[in-house]
């Protein structure tokens, strides 16, 4: 459905400065896949999407979308894809139903069919009551559903969603996804969906495949579960008295399955957490506790956390996705890194 | 809601520029059609000029203008309405650029030139509607234009408006990364163009350099044409020059506008 080869995009900001927004992305998306492109702001997600949707010409490399080259046959690509951009698709002073009807006519439907299709989509996306209202009177969630409806008018086999749920509250996000997933399976052949997001849980919950992008490059590409198991591992946090932390860290490093150990900042009550990344947290914890006990280290608290995609991103880049708002910069990571290459490291924060 | 209710969409195998233009035109007209009184909003300024400047003109320059002040001033006010109304229309496109509406259209197979031409053609409707209101309002005050002349002037203004509207859209596209520039350029161009058209006071009394500058201002020819046509002088060279200026503005505007639209990606 999508195939890109070393796609790049440079933006010339001034004579002396060129931003390399996308630096060689090669992708292959099969029909029916639901793919999330995850990355911090400025990672190149949206630029990649804009190239795939013919909104921006690639600087180099090639992309074939729905069977056509985006540069040589943009019209064919446009006819085949649906696009829900970051901005609203409905004109503020337009009536909801009219916008859908117009969109249908744009894709070549005759007026009657366009009207029927508009009504179907209004019903499918729970907008029937708002059909005769002006777009600017809709709530945020309703507006976003209209955007999705606009993108689906021509029953595209491939739908692009650019940050579909940004600005929506959790309830509206869940509601939007419910609609998107139902529309996806409503088609005879399940629709291929490519979305960009910086919401970790969104990628985690809905996407069948997660492509992690950072600094304009793909740094990981797999199912969320595989990424978490391979790249992050579970996080076991043992809390001991501050004086025992270094000894416990040394002990934990020798434990089987440990990937990395980090000593957190001392806490007010005199305790200090030791964070252990390990392949199998629940399995490793009893052994860790026994070893600590044998060494005379009193563990006061235990926490075992399954990894999140943020842990994956942290593992890959040394930065947390939640805290990064990198705008194409190349700043060194400001966070202590965990090394996931297999060797164990120890970092004690002073 | 089930899969069965989804009707198969049937994309056209070949696109027609006219069909695309019609789609864009009708979409742009929909808000006007739903709320026709929005057109009246653009009439505040011309009515102020008619009410507060017209009488001054009659008092101070009535003699110089040779009799009927309204036949001299009303065509100018119509041209002013056209100029003010269509030169700001790019701000509508700015709204669509800021929201996702323009982007949404760019991702569809809709012809890009049609996206500009449809928008520009829409400008004709408020121009004609507003002009008709001004004419009706002025009838009780003694305005008696040549009917055919008035009609032809409205048509000429509509053509001119397509050109100015296109240029305004082109401007909005050109400065889309610094939106405030739109108003700066629009205001900077607007007033010289207005004053150098002889709209408010006759240019004949101005210095030679002003008359020279007005010679390259298409609006001046349209204003002169309107005055001649209102007076019933339909076969005059002034009317012919007016049409030439209006058509040239439209052609230039559409060319520049379509070019900007084609480049509006990236």
Residues of B with CB under 8 A from a CB of A: 1-3, 5-12, 15, 20, 23, 26-27, 30-31, 34, 95-96, 98-101, 103-110, 265-266
Q: What is the mean pLDDT of residues A338-342?
A: 35
CB contact under 8 A, B9 and A109: yes
What pTM did the predictor assign? Answer: 0.83
Q: Which of A10, A50, A87, A106 to mutate to test the interface with B (most CBs of B within 10 A)?
A: A106
Contact present, B168 and B88 (Cβ < 8 Å): yes
Contact between B219 and B161 under an 8 Å Cβ cutoff? The reply is no
pLDDT for A281 equals: 87
Tens digits of residue pLDDT in A154-209: 989 999 999 998 888 888 888 889 888 988 888 778 899 999 987 888 888 889 99
Interval A288-316 mean pLDDT: 88
Confidence of residue A316 (pLDDT cuts 50, 70, 90): confident
Strands A68-69 and A271-278 turn out to be unpaired
| pLDDT above 70 (res B3) | no
The tally of domains found in chain A comes to 2
| Nearest chain A CA: its distance from B124 CA (Å) | 19
Final residue belonging to a domain, choices A181, A204, A228: A228
**pLDDT of B73 above 60:** yes
Domain residue limits at A334: 233-348
Kindly report the average pLDDT of chain B as a whole number. Answer: 89
Residues A198 and A148 in one domain: yes
Contact state of A120 with B6 under an 8 Å Cβ cutoff: yes
Nearest CA in chain A to B10: A109
Residue B231 has pLDDT above 80, yes or no: yes
**A208, A332: one domain:** no
Considering the domain architecture, whether residues A71 and A46 belong to the same structural domain is answered as yes
Min Cα distance A284 → chain B (Å) is: 48
Which pLDDT band, with edges at 50, 70 and 90, does B42 fall under? confident
CB-nearest to B11 from A94, A103, A107 is: A107
Residues A197 and A224 in one domain: yes
pLDDT at A321: 75
- pLDDT above 60 for B161: yes
| CA end-to-end distance (rounded Å), chain B | 39
Interface touch B103/A109, C-beta < 8 Å = no
**Among partner residues A120, A150, A182, which is closest to B7 by beta-carbon distance?**
A120
What secondary structure, in 3-state letters, does chain A show? CEEEEEEEEEEEEECCEEEEEEEEEEEEECCCCEEEEECCCCCCHHHHHHHHCCCCCCCEEEEEECCEECCCCHHHHHHHEEEECCCCCCCCCCEHHHHHHHHHHHCCCCHHHHHHHHHHHHHHCCCHHHCCCEHHHCCHHHHHHHHHHHHHCCCCCEEEEECCCCCCCHHHHHHHHHHHHHHHHHCCCCCEEEEEECCHHHHHHHCCEEEEEECCEEEEEECHHHHHHHHHCEEEEEEEEHHHHHHHHHHHHHCCCEEEEEECCCCCCCEEEEEEEECCHHHHHHHHHHHHHHCCCCCCEEEEECCCHHHHHHHHHCCCCCCCCCCCCCCCCCCCCCCCCCCCCEEECC
* Last residue of one domain, picked from the residues A165, A200, A228: A228
CATH code for the domain in which residue A11 is found: 3.40.50.300
Alpha-carbon distance of A301 to B161, in angstroms, equals 76
Neighbours of B207 (CB within 10 A): 9
Domain end (from A169, A193, A228): A228
Same domain, yes or no, for A212 and A281? Answer: no
Same domain, A62 and A158: yes
Kindly determine whether residue A83 and residue B104, on different chains, have CB atoms separated by under 8 Å.
yes
- Of all residues in chain A, the percent with pLDDT exceeding 90 is 51
Judging contacts by C-beta atoms under 8 Å, the chain B residues touching residue A98 are 27, 30
- What would the mean pLDDT of A268-284 be, rounded to a whole number? 88
Task: Please state, rounded to an integer, the average pLDDT across all residues of chain A.
Answer: 86
- pLDDT score at A335: 34
Question: What token pair was written down for B256?
Answer: 């520049």
- Are residues A185 and A140 part of one domain? yes
Share of chain A above pLDDT 70, in %: 92
User: A164 CA to chain B: closest CA distance, Å?
Assistant: 12
Residue A94 has pLDDT above 90, yes or no: yes
pLDDT tens column, A202-234: 888 889 999 999 999 999 899 888 888 777 788
Which of B6, B101, B107 lies at the smallest CB-CB distance from A83? B107
* A142 in the same domain as A291: no
Give the span between the Cα atoms of B258 and B266, in whole angstroms. 16
In the predicted model, what is the mean pLDDT of residues A268-279? 88
Least confident of A30-44, A226-240, B205-219, B248-262: A226-240
User: What's the rounded mean pLDDT across residues A290-306?
Assistant: 91
CA distance B12 to A255: 66
**Would the pLDDT of B15 be above 80?**
no
Nearest CA in chain B to A99: B27
Question: How near does any CA of chain A get to the CA of B170, in Å?
Answer: 18
Co-location of A196 and A51 in the same domain: yes
Residues of chain A contacting B31 with CB distance shorter than 8 Å? 91, 93-94
A210 to chain B, closest Cα gap in Å? 25
Query: Is the Cβ pair A85, B265 closer than 8 Å?
Result: no
Q: Minimal Cα distance from B13: which residue of A?
A: A108
Tokens linked to A274: 């030791």
| A132, burial (CB in 10 Å: exposed 0-12, middle 13-18, buried 19+) | exposed
């Amino acid at each position: 459905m999508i195939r890109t080869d070393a796609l790049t995009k440079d933006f010339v900001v001034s004579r002396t400065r060129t931003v390399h927004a996308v630096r060689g992305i090669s992708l292959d998306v099969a029909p029916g896949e639901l793919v999330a492109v995850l990355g911090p702001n400025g990672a190149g997600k949206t630029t990649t999407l804009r190239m795939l949707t013919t909104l921006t010409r690639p600087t180099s490399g090639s992309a074939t979308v729905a069977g056509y080259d985006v540069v040589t046959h943009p019209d064919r690509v446009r006819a085949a894809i649906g696009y829900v951009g970051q901005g609203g698709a409905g004109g503020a002073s337009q009536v909801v139903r009219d916008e859908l009807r117009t969109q249908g006519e744009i894709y070549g439907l005759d007026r009657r069919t366009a009207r029927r299709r508009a009504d179907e989509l209004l019903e499918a996306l729970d907008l029937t009551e708002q059909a005769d209202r002006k777009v600017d009177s809709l709530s945020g969630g309703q507006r976003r559903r209209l955007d999705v409806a606009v993108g689906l008018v021509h029953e595209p086999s491939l739908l692009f969603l650019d940050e579909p749920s940004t600005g929506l509250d959790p309830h509206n996000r869940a509601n939007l996804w419910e609609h998107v997933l139902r529309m996806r399976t409503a088609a005879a052949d399940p629709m291929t969906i490519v979305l960009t997001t910086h919401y970790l849980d969104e990628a985690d919950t809905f996407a069948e495949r997660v492509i992690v992008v950072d600094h304009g490059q793909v740094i990981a590409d797999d199912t969320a579960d595989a990424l978490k198991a391979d790249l992050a591992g579970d996080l076991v946090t043992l809390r001991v008295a501050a004086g025992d932390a270094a000894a416990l860290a040394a002990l934990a490093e020798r434990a089987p399955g440990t990937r990395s150990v980090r000593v957190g900042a001392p806490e007010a009550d005199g305790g200090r957490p030791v964070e252990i990344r390990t392949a199998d947290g629940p399995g490793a914890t009893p052994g860790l506790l026994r070893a600590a006990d044998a060494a005379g280290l009193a563990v006061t608290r235990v926490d075992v956390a399954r990894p999140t995609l943020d842990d994956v991103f942290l593992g890959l880049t040394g930065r947390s996705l939640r805290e990064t708002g990198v705008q194409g910069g190349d700043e060194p990571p400001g966070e202590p890194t965990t090394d996931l290459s297999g060797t164990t490291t120890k970092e004690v924060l002073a | 809601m089930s899969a069965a209710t989804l009707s198969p969409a049937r994309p056209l195998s070949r696109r027609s520029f006219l069909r695309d233009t019609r789609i864009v035109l009708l979409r742009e007209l929909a808000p006007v059609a739903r709320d026709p009184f929005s057109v009246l909003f653009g009439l505040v300024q011309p009515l102020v000029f008619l009410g507060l400047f017209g009488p001054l003109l009659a008092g101070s320059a009535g003699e110089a203008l040779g009799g009927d002040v309204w036949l001299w001033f009303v065509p100018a006010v119509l041209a002013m309405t056209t100029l003010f109304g269509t030169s700001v229309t790019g701000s509508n496109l700015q709204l669509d650029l800021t929201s996702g509406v323009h982007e949404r259209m760019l991702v569809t197979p809709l012809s890009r030139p049609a996206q500009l031409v449809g928008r520009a053609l829409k400008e004709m409707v408020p121009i004609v509607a507003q002009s008709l209101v001004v004419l009706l309002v002025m009838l009780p005050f003694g305005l008696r234009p040549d009917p055919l002349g008035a009609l032809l002037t409205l048509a000429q203004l509509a053509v001119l408006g397509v050109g100015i509207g296109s240029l305004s859209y082109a401007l909005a596209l050109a400065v889309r990364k610094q939106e405030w520039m739109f108003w700066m350029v629009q205001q900077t161009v607007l007033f010289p163009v207005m004053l150098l058209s002889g709209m408010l006071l006759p240019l004949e009394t101005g210095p030679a350099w002003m008359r020279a500058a007005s010679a390259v201002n298409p609006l001046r020819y349209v204003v002169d044409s309107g005055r001649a046509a209102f007076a019933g002088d339909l076969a005059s060279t002034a009317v012919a020059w007016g049409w030439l200026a209006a058509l040239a503005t439209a052609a230039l505007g559409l060319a520049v506008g379509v070019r900007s639209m084609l480049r509006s990606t990236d």
